[in-house]
Structures are given as C-alpha cells and as structure tokens.
Structure 1
Amino acid sequence: MLAVGVLAGLSVLSLLTYGYLSWDSLGLGPGETEAPRAGPGEEQGADAPSSQPHIIFILADDQGFRDVGYHGSEIRTPTLDKLAAEGVKLENYYVQPMCTPSRSQFITGKYQIHTGLQHSIIRPTQPNCLPLDNVTLPQKLKEVGYSTHMVGKWHLGFYRRECMPTQRGFDTFFGSLLGSGDYYTHFKCDSPGICGYDLYENDNAAWDHDNGIYSTQMYTQKVQQILASHNPTKPIFLYIAYQAVHSPLQAPGKYFEHYRSINNINRRRYAAMLACLDEAINNVTLALKKYGYYENSIIIYSSDNGGQPMAGGSNWPLRGSKGTYWEGGIRAVGFVHSPLLKNKGSVCKELVHITDWFPTLITLAEGQIDEDIQLDGYDIWETISEGRRSPRVDILHNIDPIYTKAKNGSWAAGYGIWNTAIQSAIRVNHWKLLTGNPGYSDWVPPQAFSNMGPNRWHNERVSWSAGKTVWLFNITADPYERVDLSARYPDVVKQLLRRLSQFNKTAVPVRYPPKDPRSNPKLNGGVWGPWFKEDEKKKKSDKIKGVNKQKKNKKK
C-alpha cells in the first residue's frame, strides 16, 4: 500500500492507471474522467475570452462513406448524427485515398505534388517525412497565440527528430508515429523480426502508458486532461487523429452488444470499433462543454480516406475503396459543428477539399497567410457557415508518376497531351478524369456473408477493354461513376488532360526512398523512433565538403 500522503499527491487518472481506484467507484466510464478542481485565481472566465475560436479537428481513420448513421448505415453513430444535424454536413467533401497524403494535405494546405509525397504512404522503415521546409498549420496558429496539441496518429514520418510532431508546431504530442498497430499493446511489426513499440509522449516513448488501455479510450482521456488543464479564455488548437477504425480490427467486448447479428466477422468488429469511436467523440464534446470551451469552439470531423471492405468498411453506393481514386476512396464523411455557424442544421453540397482547412482555419484564427507559402487550399468558411458558393472549382486528386501499372497507357491514348500510363485523377466543376490504373473498381454492396472475402462477394462490376486507361464522369449527374463519357466527350477529355499537364509542371520530385536497415526498433531500444542521428548528418556533410575540396584541388 502506498502511504496516504503519496496517494494524495496523485491525480484521479494516475490512481485509476495504477489500480488504486476503479472507474465504477467514481461512477464514470473509461472515457469520462473527473475535472480537476480549479486552484486560487484559476476560476473559469477570470480572464477576458479570446475572439479567436478554439479549433478541434477530429480525424477518423479508414471510415467508409456509408459508415455513419446519417448515410444509412446499420452501425449506430448517435453522436456523429447529432453533431452533424446541428452543424453543417459536407456532402461534396474530398480527401486523399490513403493516410499519409490526407494528413500531409491537411497540415500544409498543399497538394501532394507540391510536397513530394505523391506516391503511396510513408513506410516505417523509410528515411522520409513531411519535408521540413513546409510550414504547418500548428506553426501558423502558434504565431497568433494558440496553444497547439496533437493526440493520436501522426504518420508523417519520424526518421529524424526534426520530423516529430513537437518539431512541426505542436506544443504537446501523445500518440503513435506509424500508420497502424495494436490498439492495446501499441506494438507494430512492419515485417517478420522488424517490430517495436509505438506510443509517444512528446519526443519520448510512453512506456508509462503501456497498461493495456484501448487506444480510442486512452486518447480521449488525454484530450480530457488537456482541456482540463488549459485556460479556456486562451485559444487552443486540438488535433485528434484517432487510430479507429483502421485495422487491426479490435474493440472492447461491450461494444459488440448491438452487432452480434452481423454475420461478417470483420464488419461486426468494425461496427464495434465505430461505436466506441462515436462514444469517444461524445465524451470529447462533453469535456468541451464542461471546461468552458464549447461556445467559442469549431469542431471539424473528417475521415482520412474511404473504407476498406476487406477490413469491414463500406463506401456503398460509391465505387471503389480505400487506396483508389474512385469516389469510394476519396469522398469522405465530414461535417462542421459550432455555435459560431450562421447556417446551422444545413447541408453543404459545394466542393470542399482537405487542403481547404489550412487557409480557412488560419483566417478564423485571425492569422496571416504569407504569399510565399503558395497554398492549394481555399478559405471556405463563408461557404460552410453562410451557404455561399465555394471558391473552389477544381481538385487535383493526384499525379503519381511512379505508379505506371497501366500497361497500355501511352501518349497516343492521351492525345499527345498526357501519358495515360500515369495514375492521375482530376476534378474540374462537374467533370472528373482518371488515367492509368485508378485501383480496385467494384461497387461493394452492403454484405452480410460470413467467412467470405471480397473476391467471392456479389460485387457489381462493369466490363471495359483491357487496354483502357482514360475515364471521364459527370460526378454531379453520376456520383457513382457508372457511365464513362470519355468516348462521347473527347474535347472535355483533352481539356482535363491539359489541366493535368499544367499541374504537373509545378510538381516537385517524388520522395520515396528505399528502406533503411537502421530503422529496426531492435537498434533503438525496441521502439519505433528517429534513427538518423545528428552526428551522421555532420559526417555526411563533412564527407561532401571533403569531396568538393578534392575536386577543387584537382582543378588547380
């Protein structure tokens, strides 16, 4: 037994963590911690409130377009449904088809072609990260007095310490660096024998939190702690990037209660994970109200990409899935909830993209956007809050010059304007053009079959020539991409191919380095973390200087 004096010095959460108190004894759930008492002079409202809004950005992972109650899902999401119904639903909202691209575009306001992250994701063993010369959203918010905090999944690289969240503008960070991992143990294996721990508190491994708490609940507890300790009269930016509902499919047992009738085991697990996430967001909302933030807050909810049917997700009735440039991979669940909205309880069908949050939030925070940043996003607050037209008329979904798996793609197929072997996708007004191999293209209806993979599901398919490398759709008239119009409107195809070519002229080189064996957690104390040390950079620099000096001497 600890001495009473020692126990008195521990917070409620610490006592719970070490097992000296239980949630039941406090009458609270695992996501509902008690507020700490305000000390002398710390009463809420003691300072004049800021005109700058509190910004809460919640990013779900791999949530399918259909996987929210208000899109007709059988999975119950009462919190999301209520927040969206009282706010503004974004029903023409686009993200990227995978984790790293969406996160990079949110935090920089730039397309992938302008950060070098055009291809795939950042792998755990790659010496790669969001380029350090990119100004980030939290850095700009700090300039105008915001306290900036991140909780959850980073997935923007960590091979150098300068790549870590706390070096990219966040005052604090609690979460994981990789793209996925065990929800309870926080371990991740990239390949056999390449395994490590992946939970961080700021710049250090959070071994103290290795207590088996499910990550969705653990992250919510951390959010509540941050809100409880911060002064609500001072502006705060809170980026909550939940791990859920990304695989591995894990959830506490109680969340399966309503979904035992779902025969597909992956879908059942996914439903339980989403139910837990919905409850977590409810607890975050309650904390915002409890600690005095809510009335001056803007809550933004977004998925990072489409759902993965093989892992329980559903994008029906959209075509395709996560990892593809069909609508099912890039059209996302999204809404804004805020007492500050003028047009509450509405639906926004204007074009909105994840890059738009950067300029929108900087403007709301009363910040300035430097011209040399050259953003691809637009300020869309009046579009959302007041129902005005969107300033955005196009979206470059991506140009990936490395992904050229379309064997029959050619310059000829692209009218001499574009090599259609290249995977690319662009939206201009109603039109959407895809080239190359856009990825898995089936429509996957809601399934209830057990022990059946997508290759055996009753998917809907459309047949086309094996050599096809160009598609054109009118997304407004045909949001499910069922009628290819490329042969009927060649002039429109040519116009969009020219637009792709124009974008491509502004692209920076792709950053996708090979694996680095030094990344192995075994060489880093069993932890996934920075492995590229300062002394190594100095040695490389000295070596380059030495080579250059030798060359100069030879010339003499």
Structure 2
Amino acid sequence: MKNLICICGFAIFSTIGSAQQKPNIVFIVADDMGWADIGYHNSEIRSPNLDKLAKTGVELDYHYVQPQCTPTRVALMTGQYPTRISAKNAQAHNEETYPIGTQIMPHMFKDMGYTTAIMGKWHMGCLEQWGPKHHGFDYSYGSYAGAVGMYDHRYTLTKKPYSITWHRNHELVEEEGHVTDLVRKEAVEYIHKNKDKPFFLYLPFHAVHVPLVEKDPKWNEMNKHIQWDDRRLMASAVSHLDDAVGQVVQALDDAGIRENTVIIFTSDNGAWRIHKGDIYPAPDPALSRFSFNHPMRGWKIDIYEGGMRVPAFVNWPAKLKPYKLKTPMHVIDWMPTLADLLDYKGEDKYNWEGVDMWKSIESQYEVDDKREFYFVWGENRTWEGLRYGDWKIVRKKNNGVYSKWELFNLENDPYEAQNLASSESLKLNDLVLRFDKQKQNDKL
C-alpha cells in the first residue's frame, strides 16, 4: 500500500481480529455544502450535531474533493482521480462511470466480512443496470440519479430515461416524504437491524443541493435570525440535514455501537453561486446569495479553493482525540486510509492513487509532505490545476483557448488573491511540468 507517512515509537491501532473488533464505518456525504454553510465555520448556521462531531473528532482542515458531484464520488469509490477511468468523469453525467467488476470501496469491506449499504444519491450510472447493487453494495436505497425533487423524488423531467429514479434494492418505489427524512429513516432502521455485525453504511444525502424545499416550519424558525430569504432557506436545509445526522448518531448510541463506529463526513464540492430554478420537479425556486464558500475564492466547478476545499471530519470516540489536522488530503485517500484501519491485505486488487492518512489522523501527526494534488473539471477540461506543497496553479478555457496559468502560494495566500506567475517563473514551470506528467495518465 502506498504510504508516505512514517511515525516512530507510536502505538498504532492493532490488527483487527474478531468481528466484534471491526469498527463500523458510516461515511456521510453532503451535496453542495460550501465552506461557510456549516456552523463550525460560520456561526450564523445552526448545525449543532455536525459541529459536535467535528469538535469531538478530527477536523480535516484541508480536505480536497473534485469540484462537482460525480467526479468526487468516483474518486471516493475508486481511490483514483476520475479522469483515469474516463474523460466524461471529469463532470457530472448520468451514464456508466466505471465498468461492472471495477474494484471499488464496498468490495474491500465485503472482503473483510462487512455488510454494505447505500442510502441516498448514487449518481455513478443513473439506471438500474449500473446501480450500486452491481458494485458491491448488499443494500441500496434512494436515487440512481443526482438531484431530485425534495418531495417529488424524480430527477429533472427533461432527461429521460433518468427521471424515474427512486428505488429500494433496484426496485422502483413511490413514497411520500422529504428525501432527507426518507434517507435518515432508512439509515436508522438499517443500523438497528445490523448492529450485531460490522457494516459499511454509505450515506450520500441529497441535501443541501437544489431544489431547496423545507415545508416544516421548525427549520425556518430555527433560522429566523437570517434576513435574506434565500440564505435562510439554505440554512434551513442545513439544519434539516444536521438533524438527520443527529438521529443517525442517536441510533448508533441506542444500538450500543457508537464507540466502535467511525463517522466520516465531507461535502462533495463547494457552494453553488446561483440557481435559476424550474429545472427539477416543482417546487424548484430560483435562488441567489444562498450558499457561500467565504472566505475561499471560487465556486462549485471551479479549481479555486472554494470549489474543492470543503468541510470534513472523522469522528471515532474509541480511538480519536479531538484536534484539527492541517495536512492536506484528498477524497482519493479514503480507500488506502480505511484499508490501513482495517489491516486490509488485498490492496493489490486496486489502482489507488491516494495516500494512507490513517496514522496521521490517529496520531495527530502533521505531515510535511510535498505531494501533488491534481484537478480537472469538464469533459473538455474547462478547468485544470495542480497543487504541490504550498504552491498551486490554475487555468480556465474560454472559447476553446486556455488562459495563462495562475500561480498561488497557499501558505501565504490561502484565498488566492495574488497571482505570482510573473514573479515566480521557475516555480510556475516546475508545477506545469508536474501537471503535464499527471495529465498523461488521463483517458483523454
């Protein structure tokens, strides 16, 4: 297994033996939650359960993802940059993202004797023939497709055959209720039914992606301090999601398995700037100034920090002490990291590009490592970038022509305000060469 971290004299978590020792894994993904859309980054947001998990766990201060939903999910599940598999995986799409038989995260857990489940948004092949039960999940519930109507449960109606998408174990179902509540309810029931055996529960919530619809007045009441209607609606959706996460944690407590359950949380990308409305099943209100990455620069689909540096943490009461990890990591790191945690020996089946971060997470060991982080968005590679050490390059294609590379020093300028490309030409050339080498590994 690729591991760039060396720690001497530290007692590492011992090899997992019996089934009772194997920790449960609950991996929660919020959709489109920006840096300033969670309480521990922004006091106007009411998210007490998420804030408590971050405060009592390891806050991942530099947790990178890809700048849009499907690319991040592919990266998480495969441990690879999504463009290694297909150029179309550089942006959200509804088609097959990787062939059946590709070794992805739930296969690793099944090799270790876990039961596996997904509740929520799949968005890695949005028809039954590409659904999660074909990719190592024992149990599947939610939508094949991406965003759906909060109460309607259909994907955008103009994109057939993907519109009818709500299912349980690949059987289409019609249900009533807000999708956040439905996913939460299914997850709670699953926890109680499977409390006596180790499980991997993947919870990619639809919240807080548009359309934003919150009929229950308690969420609005909780956020009445926010004057701007659109921002208050977003905050209400966050509070609703937060309550769902709180009930999942309570279910773990009630089942007597909280201490031995690892909870991982991340957003799939940064905040979206504006929503024109009337795209998804009604109601689908137009929204502006509703979601924020402040003080980060950029938005969802950008290669600036706001598009990819997201709220994230890992919480495990039995093993992890609270602190803030400032070593950068990427969503591709979770496969090798969880393999280390499980003492998994079958990593030769996988083509991981990620780095094992578990020892750093567990030991509070900040790694001074100049690793590369590679970023692309758009099937036609509209945005490109690379981070190496404290330095980062970014460029964008307009009308088929790329702009000049921008260069930033993130240690001194974390909000990317000062382009140093002209004054640091040697550093720029070094990162461009590194980028070109990474690009050669893509399926262009």
Q: TM-score range by the shorter chain?
A: 0.7 to 0.9
* 2:69 corresponds to 1:102: no
* 1:316 partner letter: H
Whether the 8 Å contact between 1:58 and 1:240 is mirrored in structure 2 is yes
Q: 2:437 aligns with which of 502, 516, 519?
A: 502
For residues 91 and 51 of structure 1, what CA distance do their matches in structure 2 show? Answer: 29
Q: 2-side partners of 1:171 and 1:404: how far apart?
A: 35
Change (3 A) 1:438 1:143: farther
The corresponding residue for 1:448 is none
Inter-partner Cα distance in structure 1 for 2:210 and 2:241: 14
Residues 193, 399 of structure 1: alpha-carbon distance in 2 compared, 3 angstrom cutoff? closer
Instruction: Give the one of 297, 321, 325 matched to 1:348.
Output: 325
Residues 122 and 128 of structure 1 are in contact (CA less than 8 Å); yes or no, is this contact kept in structure 2?
no
How far does the alpha carbon of each residue in 1:469-515 deviate from its partner, in whole angstroms, 9 at most, with x for none?
A: 21000111111000111111111111111111111222224xxxxxx
Separation in 2, partners of 1:160, 1:377: 29
- Residues 147-172 of structure 1 show CA distances to partners (whole Å, capped at 9, x for unaligned) of 101100000013461x2101101000
Alignment of 1:350-365 (within 5 A): 350-365=327-342
Amino acid of the structure 2 residue aligned with 1:244 = A
Using the alignment, how far apart are the partners of 1:330 and 1:346 within structure 2? 22
Identity %: 31
Deviation of 1:49 (Å) = 5.4
Letter paired with 1:181: V
2: CA distance, partners of 1:192 / 1:100: 17
**2:93 is the counterpart of 1:130:** no
- Structure 2 counterparts to residues 362-381 of structure 1, below 5 A: 362-371=339-348, 373-381=350-358
1:79 matched to which residue of 2? 49
Alpha-carbon distance between aligned partners in 2 of 1:152 and 1:193, rounded to the nearest angstrom: 20
Q: Which runs of 4+ in 1 moved over 6 A?
A: 192-195
Q: 1:337 to 1:401 in 2, by over 3 A?
A: closer
Is 1:181 the counterpart of 2:148 in the alignment?
Answer: yes
Q: Is this contact kept in 2: 1:224–1:287, CA < 8 A?
A: yes
Residue 201 in structure 1 maps to residue 176 in structure 2: no
* Mapped partners of 1:277, 1:377: distance in 2: 29
Matching residue of 1:17: none
Q: Displacement of 1:242 after TM fit?
A: 0.5
Aligned partner of 2:81 among 111, 122, 135 = 111
Distance in 2 of aligned mates of 1:187 and 1:224: 23
Q: Matches of residues 399-414 of structure 1 in structure 2 within 5 Å?
A: 399=376, 402-403=379-380
- Whole-angstrom CA distance in 2 between matches of 1:55 and 1:223: 13
Alignment of 1:394-543 (within 5 A): 394-399=371-376, 402-403=379-380, 423-437=383-397, 468-509=403-444
1:297 corresponds to:
261
In the other structure, the counterpart of 1:50 is 20
- What is the rounded CA distance, in whole Å, between the counterparts of 1:248 and 1:135 in structure 2? 33
Instruction: For 2:422, give the aligned amino acid.
Output: A
Q: Once structures 1 and 2 are overlaid, which stretch shifts more, 366-375 or 392-401?
A: 392-401
Distance 1:334 1:237 in 2: 18
SS at match of 1:191: coil
Contact 1:183/1:214 (CA < 8 Å) preserved in 2?
Answer: yes
SS in 2 for 1:183: coil
Contact (CA 8 Å) 2:298, 2:305: kept in 1 or not?
yes
SS at match of 2:234: helix
> 1:188, 1:115 → 2: CA distance?
25
Distance 1:205 1:328 in 2: 36
2:326–2:366 CA contact under 8 A, matched in 1: no
The answer to whether residue 281 in structure 2 is matched with residue 327 in structure 1 is no
Given candidates 86, 90, 105, the residue that maps to 2:60 is: 90
Give the direction of change, closer, same or farther, for the CA distance of 1:324–1:73 in structure 2 (3 Å limit): farther
1:15-55 CA-partner distances (Å, limit 9, x unpaired): xxxxxxxxxxxxxxxxxxxxxxxxxxxxxxxxx75221111
Greater shift after overlay, 424-433 or 364-373? 364-373
Match of 2:328, as an amino acid? Answer: L
SS of 1:240's equivalent in the other structure is strand
Q: 2:317 aligns with which of 334, 339, 363?
A: 339
After TM superposition, the score normalised by the length of structure 2 is: 0.87
The alpha-carbon distance between structure 1 residues 81 and 160, as it changes in their structure 2 partners (threshold 3 A), is closer
In the alignment, does 2:170 pair up with 1:235? no
**Bigger mean CA deviation after superposition, 387-396 or 353-362:** 387-396
What is the CA-CA distance between 1:392 and the residue it aligns to? 5.7
Match of 2:138 among 154, 165, 171: 171
Q: Contact conserved, 2:386 with 2:435, CA < 8 A, in 1?
A: yes
Match for 2:306: what amino acid?
G
Q: Report the RMSD for the aligned CA atoms in angstroms.
A: 2.2
User: How far off is 1:135 after superposition?
Assistant: 0.8
The alignment partner of 1:271 has SS state of: helix
1:315 alignment counterpart: 293
With over 3 angstroms needed to count, the CA separation of the structure-2 counterparts of 1:223 and 1:158, relative to structure 1, is same
Q: How do 1:383-402 and structure 2 match up within 5 A?
A: 383-390=360-367, 393-399=370-376, 402=379
| Counterpart code for 1:294 | R
Change beyond 3 A, Cα 1:219–1:485? same
Classify the secondary structure of the residue corresponding to 1:319: coil
Equivalent in 246, 252, 255 of residue 209 of structure 2 = 246
1:140 to 84, 105, 108: 108
Deviations 1:265-298 (A, max 9, x none): 2211111110011111111111011112211111
Whole-Å separation in 2 of the counterparts to 1:110 and 1:288: 31
In structure 2, relative to structure 1, the CA distance for the partners of 1:223 and 1:505 (3 Å cut) is: same
| Residue of 169, 183, 190 corresponding to 1:226 | 190
Residue 157 of structure 1 corresponds to which residue in structure 2?
125
Matched, 1:63 2:33: yes
**1:264 counterpart = 2:224:** no
On the 8 A contact 1:101/1:118 being kept in 2, the answer is no
8 A contact 1:60–1:245 mirrored in 2: yes
Question: Cα gap change, 1:194/1:506 in structure 2, threshold over 3 Å: closer, same or farther?
Answer: closer
- 1:292-322 deviations in Å (ceiling 9; x for gaps): 2211111101111001132521100000111
Q: Give the C-alpha shift of residue 239 in structure 1.
A: 0.4
User: Retained in 1: the 8 A contact 2:145–2:162?
Assistant: no
Distance 1:438 1:292 in 2: 55
1:367 Cα deviation (Å)? Answer: 1.6
Higher RCO (C-alpha 8 Å, min separation 6)? 2
Moved more, 329-338 or 498-507: 498-507
Residue identity opposite 1:70 in structure 2: Y
8 Å contact from structure 2 (residues 261, 316) kept in 1: yes
Summarize the Cα distance change of 1:346–1:256 in structure 2 as closer, same or farther, 3 Å threshold. Answer: same
- Structure-2 separation of matches of 1:65 and 1:358: 24
